[in-house]
Amino acid sequence: MKKLSLILSVLCLGWTLSAQPGIISTREANDQGGKVLTMEETILSRELSPATIHTMWDDDGTLLMYKDGKFKTYDIATGTYSDYTGKNKLSMQAVSKNGSLYVIYANGAERLVAERENDQITYGEYVSRNEFGIDGGTFWSPDNRKLAFYRKDESKVTSFPLLDITTRTGSLKEIKYPMAGMDSENVQLGIFDVVTGETVYAAVDDFGYDRYLTNITWSPDGDMIYIQVLDRSQKHLKLNAYSAQTGDFIKTILTEDNEKYVEPFDPLYFIKEQNLFIYRTANRDGYRNLYLCDNDGNIRRLTSVDADVKYVGNDGRYVYYTSAEVSPVENHLFRIELKNLKKGVAKASFGKPQRLTFAEGWHEIQLSPDYKHFIDSYSSLCTPRVVNLCASDGKILKNLLTADDPTLDYAYTEISLGTVRSADGQYDNYYRLIKPKDFDPSKKYPVIVYVYGGPHSQMVQNTYLAQLRRWEMYMAQRGYLVYVQDNRGTENRGIAFEQAIHGQCGQAEMADQIEGVKMLMDLPYVDKERIGVHGWSYGGFMTISLITNYPDIFKVAVAGGPVIDWKWYEVMYGERYMDNPAVNPEGYEKTSLINKAKDLKGKLLICQGAIDPVVVWEHSLSFIRECIKNNVQVDYFPYPCAEHNVMGKDRVHLHDKISMYFEDYL
């Protein structure tokens, strides 16, 4: 394995030189005499989470804080509270009921916008299974005079049956589930004029029947609507403008092309009082950066940094954004000044970026509507939660909360944040390592690797306890080393890092996870003969991948809701990362866990929500069937009334089951 360079370790109680290579910072143990977690506390307790406060900004810039069961106005100058008398200014809202779309007015009156023709069609609901940044199905114009909405036609999409055992004889509920390589949904965008009652549809002629319409954005004057049109292969995108009056195509502003995939996340963000907008993409310079654009397709990179950034807001002078440039495991607020905008994109100039948050950790930002203030809420490995009111230049005006550590009475063990080199030698992958209670370096301990590893995830951040899931501490208190690591394919590290998994999901991820396990196996207190792995969903896929590909390393595994073969997963996600099965048959064959069932040597428990609409039951049942064919023993536990994420009391039972399995076999 690659040798790790020895670096300084930042302890919560001071600076020290770490004895273990790769360690960045460590939270010291508090396991002498403290209480150990019960499973109910582990899964259900809120008291063990740091105190926080809920804040929001009113439209006029007034700060509201949740106090005594309701939001109250907070006077920034005096620090006093008063009753909030503001009212919701929205006089109407769009609501989808039984697939039809209505406008509901403040007096309760309803107006039909679009009535579904049959049960294959819905209006005003989310489409594309919430991919591409889509989280709703209706979009009001800035003046509320027009309403854009999705029309989804699933008539070509196959159904999948879910079994409801709560009825007297059992019944089936069919859901529409477009599997990779099969027919998908057709999406259109309607535009309803509230004044005239007329509806037109955007004349989208690009890319055929099953293209994607994403990140709907209105122009500030409400005359145009912008759609990011993505083709079925997800390799080609057009940013198009359409007339809000007629639906006619006006022009293509810009295009994106990538041989692996283009993944749009963001709408357009218009510059205040300017006919210019901010566009965010990872496809042009290797990282998700911000670009200044106009309607003629002129485009210039605004944030020239080799790190992923996220747009926060702009006041016409400054653009505010958060960035991973300080560290991939930290999130900080920056702003950059815009100058000479009236001269156009080509002649505009940008000031030097200003960093506005400096405390170590992960900062979540709420900008006030008038851009005079922001709320900075952050935590780090050793800092439970700090909430500050700041001026727009970053000056801290008032501390609103400094939370106490809620775990001081509990036997929380040592947690380290560190790095290990990726298998290709190009990146530092971040991990957290939780040591057992009453740790003795002269003893040998079993290891549990908790894994997710898939796109859109970042399991390790410099937040309170480094994103610790409380079950990890539960197991550490019972004598296990627990290890969690991000790998290539996860987010916030640039497009090359993300796209390393394309076409062969699980391969680069496994290679990186194994580098971390090799590092652990070099530690004198690790029992190399007792290493287990656990994960859910993509992590379930990774769990079974690891125990079948590396049977000499992993002795016990618990996989929840696992993807078994990507041909059974949905089109939008599956084809982005694996291509269409007809295009990439070798990749689907290589990554299929059906082919790996015969290689299972250790103990494997699979847990599955029986009415899971995300990773449908076909996956895990097919793996079980293949194990039976090959006379391979495997354990299986379904949760009959659970969906993809097992919740409530079922979740307590689930984690008892997982923990007992490691106790019995590891």
Q: Is the pLDDT of residue 500 over 80?
A: yes
Averaged pLDDT, 366-377? 97
Whether pLDDT at 308 is above 60: yes
For 364, counting Cβ atoms within 10 Å of its Cβ (0-12 exposed, 13-18 middle, 19+ buried), the class is middle
63/54 Cα distance (integer angstroms)? 11
Judge whether residue 646 has pLDDT over 60: yes
Note the pLDDT of residue 32: 86
Task: Give the pair of three-digit tokens for residue 72.
Answer: 């109250």
Q: How many domains are there within the chain?
A: 2
Query: What pairs with residue 179 in β-bridges?
Result: 570
Burial class of residue 124, CB neighbours in 10 A (0-12, 13-18, 19+)? buried
In a domain, 378, yes or no: no
Give the H/E segment covering residue 618: helix 618-629
CATH assignment at residue 112: 2.140.10.30
Burial of 98 (0-12, 13-18, 19+ CB in 10 A): exposed
Residue 382, in any domain of the structure: no
> Within this chain, do residues 23 and 100 fall inside the same structural domain, yes or no?
no
* Residue 88: pLDDT over 70: no
Same domain assignment for residues 39 and 116: no
Active site residues: 537, 612, 644
DSSP state of 370: T
Beta bridge partners of 415: 27, 434
Is 284 inside a domain boundary?
Answer: no
Residue 91: predicted pLDDT = 74
* Any domain includes 358: no
Per-residue pLDDT tens over the stretch 460-473: 999 999 999 999 99
**How many C-beta neighbours within 10 Å does residue 591 have?**
25
315 in a domain, yes or no?
no
Instruction: State both tokens at 337.
Output: 């000044």
Are residue 503 and residue 423 in the same domain, yes or no? yes
Same domain, 182 and 110: yes
Residue 185 is part of which domain span? 90-267
User: Rounded CA gap, 146 and 140, in Å?
Assistant: 6
Three-class DSSP labels, 51-87:
CCCCEEECCCCCEEEEECCEEEEECCCCCCEEECCCC
* Domain end residue (candidates: 267, 284, 300): 267
Pair 122, 33 in one domain: no
- pTM of the shown model: 0.95
* Residue 35 maps to a domain: yes
Q: Among residues of the chain, what percentage have pLDDT more than 70?
A: 96
353 in any annotated domain: no
Indicate whether 574 and 436 sit together in one domain.
yes
**Together in a domain, 22 and 169:** no
Condensed to tens digits (0 to 9), the pLDDT of residues 326-350 reads 999 999 999 999 999 999 999 999 9
Q: Is the pLDDT of residue 245 over 80?
A: yes
Where does a domain end: 243, 267, 291? 267
Q: Which of 272, 269, 314, 369 is nearest to 59 (CA)?
A: 369
For the chain, the farthest-separated pair of C-alpha atoms sits apart, in whole angstroms, at: 79
Tell me what pLDDT residue 21 has: 57
Reading phi first (left if > 0) and then psi (alpha if -120 to 50, else beta), residue 534 is in beta
In a domain, 429, yes or no: yes
pLDDT at 16 over 50: no
What's the confidence (pLDDT) of residue 3? 32
Q: Give me the pLDDT at residue 90, please.
A: 57
Whether residues 536 and 590 share a domain: the answer is: yes
146-153 and 159-164 beta bridge pairing: unpaired
Predicted confidence (pLDDT) per residue in 161-193, tens digit: 999 999 999 999 999 999 999 999 999 999 999
Q: For residue 563, how many other CB atoms are within 10 A of its CB?
A: 28
Final residue in a domain of this structure, among 242, 267, 292: 267
Q: Tokens 């002629």 belong to which residue?
A: 205
Q: Residue 67: what pLDDT?
A: 78
How crowded is residue 310: how many other Cβ atoms within 10 Å of its Cβ? 16
Do 319 and 335 form a contact (C-beta atoms < 8 A)?
yes
| Same domain, yes or no: 558 and 453 | yes
Residue 451 pLDDT > 80: yes
Tell me, yes or no, whether 493 and 603 share the same domain.
Answer: yes
* Domain containing residue 579: CATH number: 3.40.50.1820
Going by C-beta distance under 8 Å and a sequence separation of 6 or more, which residues neighbour residue 217? 225, 226, 267, 268, 277
- Same structural domain, 40 and 151: no
Cα separation, 491 vs 495, in Å, equals 8
Please report the pLDDT score of residue 7 as a whole number: 31
Residue 418, pLDDT > 50, answer yes
Same domain for 604 and 656: yes
Alpha-carbon distance of 360 to 290, in angstroms, equals: 24
